[in-house]
Structure 1
Amino acid sequence: MPSQHAQNRLAAYSTPLILSAVLLAFVLLVVVLDDKALARTAAEALVRVTLVVGLWIFVGNSGVISFGHAGYMAIGAYCSAWLTLKPQSKALFLPDLPPWLMDAQWPVFPAAIASGLLAALVALLSGAAILRLSGIAASIATFAFLAIVNTVYSNWEGVTGATSSVVGLARYVDHWVALAWATAAIVAANLYANSASGLALRATREDEVAARASGIDMYRHRLWSLVISAFFTGISGALLGHSIGVLNPDSFYLGITFISLAMLVVGGIGSLSGAVTGVLLLSLLIELLVRAERGITVGGAEFALPSGSQEILIGVAMIVVLILRPAGLTGGREFKLRLSVPRIPLSQEPTSTN
């Protein structure tokens, strides 16, 4: 019979199995309904799962709110464009690329991996400076990083196209591709959370002073989690670009930053299950609001929400959740399989006889 510790470990590792099963059921429902618009929405939602799970690897374990992950997303998206666009398109939109990059035309999977690795490398370099800070100072520094990335990519015309959109990316990301990457991100996030580094990092989140006194190198663990987090965030950027086929620096700025943090907070920043739950629920809410803005017919009368209601109502939903459930909808708890431990009855002591 497995020990109690072993059963706890098995229960912890059941979380990605449950979350992956939920996402698979979601995709199968989309396939059964056979609605092209719904399939696109599902693909976008699953790309957001990869993004928010990547964000959670750092934010959820360290407790440091990051406003800069959209910058890593932009780095990954443009890296994939550099590697996969046809040379003719790059000569037209990105004429200042170096010759070896101008002629490159990689398959989409190695390009996605390379995009994640480039984002991870930038995270290693930027995090080496940012993570020497703590608390609100570190959060402000991450926002400064995002502003720097956006400024560079919005003005580097010959390499990023500046504010002009880069078009022509292969739109290979459907709900199945997005599901595979979302599942990979969930498994990696769970493995890191249950690793020695993840446990040590959460100890610093709960009590930084006590963790330091116990000999935990907070800086090293935070930097390691940021690198892993940026890897999947960079891949999510590549997936987003290849989902819509167009890149623009403003697609990776304040809008995506707000919505990703909102999903994380609504679901529950303290758990991986909360991150996935927040994405699915807010993605559903966003789709309903978009359709409501276009107009819905009820009893022969057509109703439409005012333009811009989506952002306002999402903000209201976030405030309501924070008031009623400060720890998020999941309360910081993970979805786990409850494994029962059979009880062994105590043997009765023999009665003494005279």
Structure 2
Amino acid sequence: MQSQHTSNRIAAYSTPVVLAVLLLGFVVLVALFGDKALARTMAETLVRVVLVVSLWIFVGNSGVINFGHAGYMAIGAYCSAWLTLKPQSKALFLPDLPDWLMQAQWPVFPAAIAGGLLAAFIALLSGAAILRLSGIAASIATFAFLAIVNTVYSNWEGVTGATSSVVGLPRYVNQWVALGWAVAAIFAANLYANSASGLALRATREDEVAARASGIDMYRHRLLSLVISGFFTGVSGALLGHSIGVLNPDSFYLGITFISLAMLVVGGIGSLSGAVMGVLLLSLLIELLVRAEQGMAIGTTHFALPSGSQEILIGMAMILVLIVRPNGVTAGKEFKLKPQWLRQSRLDSAKSTN
């Protein structure tokens, strides 16, 4: 029995290893055979992995749909920008920053950590109020939070640049940097999912009444998962800003909210593997549709999709997946390795007992 339990735990903790190797394989292939454009696409895909995995930490374990994660992205992105932009650029674009922040010029890694920590702190404050609600009421409250963040950042001209784009961010995020953060987010998500808090939170997802009756503090576990999720979401915002070098509040609003939820649902909201696979599949589809909208030659015929087809076809793909596989492409299952040596050990133990 003890050997079986150990084997199951090792199999559970093998999931992030499998996913990390999968992502590493894609990155190596792009590095060997791809061009600069494909490398940038790979980096953007891995940033999406950080975002969707962080979304899964809360949504996948709690069962509460959160529309506010793009707000935490904006908080992390602008925090990193405040810390890394040159003082001359901040004086030009963000003249109302306090003096200590105006003169700050941090290295990019500590700035990303700071962006994640600020987003986690805001997640703690917002979650303390929002997570007292349940079901659809909590989901609507998260959307209200997103609207508040977008309104503040779109009008706080001297601090965020309002609707004008903030440019000049150091563009240090390549596919290797994004891979490192994606792997870190995957391991953190798996660690939390297999912790006592993660298991308790999934119990509330399956049966809230029974979980309460068993003495599980649903509010505390949901708040903890939201704070962890908020940290990696804030980091994903910082990575996105330093990937394209430009920030605008509308980059962290409805568009990215829709696509991140679509990736999570298509892959399978019930598993970490589903979150990663959803990003890979929809990112591939997005890239193909973008190229189709730009136009491509098929033989002697030039073919181009009408503008806006990308959003329509992604929505149709999402509906199709929900009809054919309601639990997503992975059907809520994780990618795991079965430790052969433990299996053989159990067989040898059974033979010796007999």
SS at match of 2:163: coil
Q: What's the secondary structure of 1:72's corresponding residue?
A: helix
What is the CA-CA distance between 1:347 and the residue it aligns to?
6.3
Task: Write the distance in 2 (CA, Å) between the matches of 1:235 and 1:255.
Answer: 19
Q: Which residue of 2 aligns with 1:106?
A: 106
SS in 2 for 1:302: strand
The SS at the match of 2:23 is helix
Q: Offset of 1:299 from its aligned partner?
A: 1.1
* Structure 2: distance between partners of 1:7 and 1:310: 44
Structure 1 partner of 2:223: 223
Residue 52 of structure 1: how far off its partner (Å)? 0.3
Q: Residue type of the partner of 1:207? A: D
Give the CA deviation at 1:346. Answer: 7.7
C-alpha distance in 1 between matches for 2:272 and 2:352: 39
More helix by share: 2
Q: State the match for 1:171 in structure 2.
A: 171
**Aligned partner of 1:315: which letter?**
G
Q: How many residues align?
A: 348
Matched residue type, 2:42? A
Q: Distance in 2 between matches of 1:232 and 1:279?
A: 16
Letter in 1 for 2:26: F
Could you tell me which residue of structure 2 aligns to residue 42 of structure 1?
42
Quote the offset at 1:34 in angstroms: 3.4
Aligned to 1:202: 202
1:42-81 counterparts in 2 under 5 A?
A: 42-81=42-81
Q: 1:149-201 CA distances to partner (integer Å, 9 max, x unpaired)? A: 00000000000000000000000000000000000000000000000000000
1:289-310 CA-to-partner distances (Å, cap 9, x unmatched) read 0000011101111000000000
Corresponding position of 2:187:
187
TM-score by length of 2: 0.97
Give me the whole-angstrom Cα distance separating, in 2, the residues matched to 1:230 and 1:221.
14
What amino acid does structure 2 have at the position aligned with 1:249?
A: P
Please give the alpha-carbon distance, in whole angstroms, between the structure 2 residues aligned to 1:97 and 1:136: 38
1:303-334: CA deviations, max 9, x gaps?
A: 00000000000000000000000000000000
Task: Map 1:231-246 onto structure 2 (within 5 A).
Answer: 231-246=231-246
Which amino acid in 2 is paired with 1:80?
Answer: S
Alignment of 1:143-158 (within 5 A): 143-158=143-158
Deviations 1:83-129 (A, max 9, x none): 00000000000000000000000000000000000000000000000
Partner of 2:26: 26
Aligned to 2:339, the other structure's residue is in SS state coil
Structure 1 CA distance for aligned equivalents of residues 93 and 351 of structure 2:
75
Please give the secondary structure, in 2, of the residue aligned with 1:3: helix
Mapped partners of 1:345, 1:187: distance in 2: 37
SS at match of 1:223: helix
| Unmatched runs of 5 consecutive residues or more in structure 1 | 349-354
Bigger mean CA offset, 338-347 vs 228-237: 338-347
Alpha-carbon RMSD:
1.1
Amino acid at match of 2:28: L
Deviation, 1:338, is 1.8
Identity of aligned residues (%): 83
**Are residue 278 (structure 1) and residue 278 (structure 2) matched?**
yes
Aligned to 2:214: 214
Question: Residue by residue, what CA displacement relative to the aligned partner does 1:221-276 show, whole Å, maximum 9, x if unpaired?
Answer: 00000000000000000000000000000000000000000000000000000000
Matched residues in 1 for 2:249 and 2:327: separation?
A: 33
Can you give the 5+ residue segments of structure 2 that lack an aligned partner in the other structure?
none
Deviation at 1:339, TM superposition (A): 2.9
